[in-house]
Amino acid sequence: MNNRADNDLRPVQVTWRFLKQQPASVLWQRGDTKVLAAVQPTEGSLQVNGNGITAHQLEWLQTTLRPLLATEALTITVTCLEDGGGLLAELFNAVYCALTLLPKGKGPKQVAAAVTAAMVAGESLGDPDAAESDLATSLVTMVATPQEQIIALELGGQQAVNSSEFNELILRASQGVTRTNDQRQASFERAVQPNIQVADTDEQTIVIATKNPGKAREFESVFAAEGIQIKTLLDYPELPNIDETGSTFEENARLKADQIAAILHLPVLADDSGLMVDELGGRPGIYSARFSGDHNDAGNNAKLLYELTGVPAEKRTATFHTTLVFAKPDRPDEDLVVEGNVKGQILGIPRGDNGFGYDPLFYVPELDATMAQLTVEQKNKISHRAKAIENLEDKWKEWIKD
């Protein structure tokens, strides 16, 4: 509708620190919807004030925000300047942005974003504008984390939805949450990038280019015996996102490692991983995380199963692959590159509740189990990343001395 794909979102524009007297303030605009939000630390309890919004919207906002707050000693003021559609979601997004501008320790406890999805003429649509919302038979507003943990869900509209429509709305909203996080993060990085503080060089510090603490822990044993401190991208929130524009796993890992090492003046270890299916010519490969268009496990798995429809079990062979690149500051020609692989097959039906991504479909014949049926300890011993780490252990000490 309106000359955009069903999963496209309206453009976002954020003016950070919009009010000079209240630094934790933003003007958030998505399409024609404009919301001003400001947050002020106080000595009292949480107070949320609304202008131009309904009592229900105000109550929903306060209830949804409360679990995310590091402190309730805040006064939050949110004002709807213009409702161009999806107002409930944009109220949340505006306030969340303002919260991220609070001093360290007072901002939100976890990353989250909101989006509205609508069912219009039997088709699901992400982020409807005012006209599309008026035509919608049902609407859902979702607040969720990048890990697809749903914090709040608001369902409304002119008529009830069946289970199939509901699932479609949830998928569309989940895709929208991922994109909203990306939009907000990109805007934040553009606004704060001139203030990046370059870290002091420390020979006893190595940065793992991930925001996933679990992934970082996999590397701790490699470096702990040498007294080396591990940091992650969570320790440097002001860093810009590095676009993975390479055509191979190695190129993408090099981009991350080399650029971050140059900014921080510290050694950086980066990885790029993915699933390669033989019958699909190695796809999804470097596009594994966004095979279905968004970073959505359910959508990616559904697309994989669809593309393998009718392919017999013996031809559903696949490989989980990891490339690790270890980079020194300003010495990209000396990168240390290692790889790890694990062979398996793609099942027709998911198995197991552990893991993430394609794990429930990736069957390892030697273990008679999928990756999602293994414990964390078992997976960490046989995974593609584990094998890459083994290869790294044989080489990194000599490499880092040079």
| Residue 213 known to bind ligand | yes
Task: Identify the domain boundary among 194, 224, 255.
Answer: 194
Q: Is the peptide bond before 284 cis (omega within 30 degrees of 0)?
A: yes
Domain boundary among 194, 222, 248: 194
Question: 312 and 190, same structural domain?
Answer: no
Q: For residue 138, tell me if it sits in a domain.
A: yes
Say if 36 falls within a structural domain. Answer: yes
The amino acid sitting at 103 is P
Query: Tell me, what DSSP letter sits at residue 23?
Result: S
Q: Are residues 228 and 376 in the same domain?
A: yes
Nearest-angstrom CA–CA distance, 148 and 43: 34
Is the same domain home to 171 and 273?
no
Instruction: Give every CB contact of residue 194 below 8 A, 6+ residues apart in sequence.
Output: none
Q: Which residue has the tokens 């398996």?
A: 344
Mean pLDDT by 10 residues, the chain (402 residues): 64 88 90 95 90 95 94 94 95 96 82 94 89 91 90 87 88 91 83 50 80 80 83 86 79 88 89 96 92 82 94 96 91 89 96 88 95 88 91 89 77
Tell me the CATH number at 236. Answer: 3.90.950.10
Helix (H/G/I), strand (E/B), else coil: 185: helix
Residues in contact with 3: Cβ distance below 8 Å, sequence separation at least 6, in sequence order: none
Query: How far, in Å, CA of 303 to CA of 377, rounded?
Result: 29
- Report whether 212 belongs to an annotated binding site: yes
Q: Are residue 156 and residue 175 in the same domain, yes or no? A: yes
The whole-number pLDDT of residue 373 equals: 94
Same domain, 169 and 45: yes
Report yes or no: 362 and 379 within 8 Å, Cβ to Cβ: no
Q: How far apart are CA 216 and CA 390, in angstroms?
A: 15
* 235 plus 278 within the same structural domain: yes
Q: Write out the catalytic residue numbers.
A: 272
Residue 171: give its domain's CATH number: 3.30.230.70
Helix (H) or strand (E) holding 345: strand 336-346
| Domain's final residue, options 157, 172, 194 | 194
Is residue 211 domain-shared with residue 145, that is, in the same domain? Answer: no
Residue 5: inside a domain, yes or no?
no
Query: What count of Cα atoms within 13 Å lies in the side-chain half-sphere of residue 350?
Result: 17
Q: Does the residue 133 lie in any domain?
A: yes
Strand partners, 206: 230
Q: Is residue 199 part of a domain?
A: no
DSSP assignment string, 93-132: HHHHHHHTTSPTTTSBSS--EEEEEEEETTEEEES--HHH
Please give the pLDDT value at position 122.
Answer: 85
Of 106, 113, 114, the C-alpha closest to 139 is: 114
Q: What is the pLDDT of residue 95?
A: 97
125 and 213 housed in the same domain: no
Q: Does the annotation place 387 within a ligand binding site?
A: no
Q: Is 265 annotated as a binding residue?
A: no
Domain match, 91 and 175 both: yes
Biggest CA-to-CA distance, the chain: 68
Distance CA 133, CA 12 (A): 18
Angle between helices 163-192 and 87-99 (to 10 degrees): 40
What is the C-alpha separation between 209 and 56, in angstroms, rounded?
A: 42
Asked if the structure places residue 6 within a domain, the reply is no
| 218 and 187 together in one domain | no
**pLDDT confidence of residue 4:** 54
Instruction: With beta carbons less than 8 A apart as the criterion, state whether 85 and 33 touch.
Output: yes
Residue 2 lies in a domain: no
Is the residue at 1 inside a domain?
Answer: no
330 in a known ligand binding site? no
- 253 & 121 share domain: no
Q: Is 215 annotated as a binding residue?
A: yes
| Number of domain units in the chain | 2
pLDDT of residue 195: 47
Domain that residue 298 falls in: 205-401
For residues 291 and 376, state if they share a domain: yes
